[in-house]
A and B are shown apart, each in its own frame.
Chain A
Amino acid sequence: MSGAGSDLEVGSDFEGSFSSLDPILNRRAEVQRTAAAKLTRRKLTSRAAALFCRASLLAALVPLVAVLSYTIKRGISAWSLAFFTHLPTPAGISGGGISNAIIGTLIIDFFAALMAVPLGVGVGLFLSQSNGKFAYVLRFGADVLAGVPSIVIGIFAYAVLVVTLKHFSAIAGSFGLAVIMLPTVTRASEVAIRGVPRDVTEAGLALGGRKAHVARRVVLPAALPGVITGVLLGIARAAGETAPLLFTAIGSQFTSYNVLHPMAAMPLIIYFDGIQAYPDLQQAAWGTALALIVIVFVLSVGGRLLSARVRRSVG
């Protein structure tokens, strides 16, 4: 390399060979020579890197596949029509089910979403329009909230609703789960609304629309696919949370539709039955775990399909 360089210097001052006179040809020759010399090594490095990526993917899939397959293996044997339609039975008596827990989970999650979604979408809309200090604090707060352990949120819901109402209740559980959903819904909404091009908003305002009108008629509909995905991911995340329910809904052996009273929920069945010494209760816990996974899976996939469909109709 130093040879080529000195050639160049000499060549520019004295008359040398034609090729060494032209710096472009010199550089081109050297680049091509170097590339050819290192070709084998570069190919090997590239192959090794690709191999490492594939191995990492496989390693990451192992726990997922293991959890899924083990839960299916243990849980599927618990499944029967009775399992989904009957009430739980004491240990040793067959034919028990988790119908009350499925109903409970649906009710608790529904009310949690009812609290978290309007608030979260509203805050997301605000955050998307504002870059001020208050928005910064709010955004930071949402991120912190997303990292708060769910057991802490459970204690919080207990202190706020159970202690003041003086008894355990499903609505307190919904409140705890709503707190867990809130940051997911908020940030997903913010991102989705920010994704709507600014000049679309400006077009609305330039036509004489008020900010609130333009937000409702133009911006929110355009952001809907992303908002729906965020909401369903939030629900899916909250549906499997156990800790907030331990302090609040606490569980029940019976079917309850009264949100002011204790209520059964699927994560609670897993928690309470899974650690029992009786094989039939353990099996019920596995069956419930599998059902919960299916629900979360359906919510996630459904959310993506729905948002894809809305996006298509949006065009």
Chain B
Amino acid sequence: MSDQPVVTEHSAVEQATVTVSPSPKRESALMATAMSHEVNDSAKVMRLQSLGVRFGDKLAVRDVSFDVLENCVVALIGPSGSGKTTVLRALNRLHDLTPGSKVEGQVHLGELDIYSGDLDATMLRSRVGMVFQRPNPFPTMNIYQNVVSGLRFAGVKRKALLDEAAEASLIAAGLWESVRFRLKAPGTSLSGGEQQRMCIARALAVEPQVLLMDEPTSALDPAATARIEELLSELRERVAIVIVTHNMQQAARVSQRCAFMLMGQDRAGELIEFGPTDQLFNHPSDQRTADYIDGRFG
């Protein structure tokens, strides 16, 4: 947070470049930047520039550019196969694990080019947390061990720090009151919704700058889903969030910015429109966005 002025300055530079080249596709990005002025103290935490992902010969996603702002939830929406999850997994370099995958374009975390050769992927991943579709607690660990596992991976051994991080992140995930007296219980003994909130706490415990969520409620019942959605509005105060969702109502409820993706002619996903969520839902600038939101396909 201390480097915030620097980041704001940088966003001004970014704005200038956008104004110089107003291609039709950039128009929505321009509006997003304009809107961001209305959201107070918004600064760019992460910037995607012409991000593309290839698996072998197959282009999975092409030319995705948008900014992730501070205190903001970005929702990625679009039909199946439009590359939402592929984009998300490019942001913490999880594609590194897939042989034959190749990422093009640039992703910056603050000033850091995350695909520059000298950045260690594990360093990046401790700054960009992730929550998965299904709750995936570490099966041999108890609740406490699960929550502090990211710190342990980083080599933190100081008990006081581990305890402090565990409590703070469980409070942030809305789970502290119900588990504080059974931290030694297996993580898998919790209900599905509680497990997912434990996984959120686990991701928060290392205090990441960005939290990626890949359809975090798709395996949960409506009540648990509602709790996680409530949580998101609190969480965005401390960490920028990028969430992939199939559920457009969810996108409308939880996000301030929205990216609509679609599979192109060559079956590669592309970004159709990016902008403030209410604008994208109420006054989409692209006909395809309007059709999708009206339920005409997808």
Contacts and interface: CB of A to CB of B under 8 A. Distances in A.
Interface of A: 196-197, 199-200, 202-210, 213-214, 217-218, 221-222, 224, 314-315
Given A200-B139, A205-B122, 13 more contacts: A199-B132, A203-B130, A203-B202, A204-B149, A205-B94, A206-B92, A207-B125, A208-B126, A208-B153, A217-B138, A218-B140, A222-B140, A315-B187
Contacts of B139: 196, 200, 221-222, 314-315
B206 interface: yes
B140 to A, nearest CB: 4
A208 B123 CA distance: 6
Interface of B: 92, 94, 97, 122-127, 129-130, 132-134, 136-141, 149-150, 152-154, 186-189, 199, 202-203, 206
A207 B94 contact: no
Q: Is the interface of B mostly helix, strand, loop or mixed?
A: helix
A200 B146 CA distance: 11
A196 B125 CA distance: 21
Contacts of A207: 125-126, 129, 149-150, 153, 202-203, 206
Given A210-B153, A315-B186, A315-B189, A204 B134 contact: no
A222 B149 CA distance: 15
A205 B132 contact: no
A210 B133 CA distance: 22
16 contacts: A199-B133, A200-B136, A203-B199, A205-B97, A206-B132, A207-B150, A207-B203, A209-B149, A217-B153, A221-B140, A224-B140, A314-B139, A314-B140, A314-B186, A314-B188, A315-B186
The 4 closest A-B pairs by CB, nearest first: A208-B126, A207-B150, A209-B153, A315-B186
Contact of A203 (B127, B138, B186): B138
Nearest to A220: B140
Contacts of B188: 314-315
A218 to B, nearest CB: 5
B123 to A, nearest CB: 7
Contacts of A203: 130, 132, 136, 138, 199, 202
A213 B153 contact: yes
A208 B154 contact: yes
Given A204-B149, A314-B186, A199 B134 contact: yes
A218 B206 contact: no
A261 B202 CA distance: 55
Given A217-B152, A222-B140, A314-B139, A209 B189 contact: no
A38 to B, nearest CB: 44
Contact of A202 (B94, B122, B153, B203): B94
Contacts of A199: 132-134, 136
Identify the interface centre among B97, B136, B138, B202: most chain A CB within 10 Å of its CB.
B138
A221 B140 CA distance: 6
B48 to A, nearest CB: 18
A158 B122 CA distance: 48
A197 B140 CA distance: 13
A204 B138 contact: yes
B186 to A, nearest CB: 4
Contacts of A224: 140
B153 A200 contact: no
Given A199-B132, A200-B139, A208 B189 contact: no
Given A208-B206, A315-B188, A197 B136 contact: yes
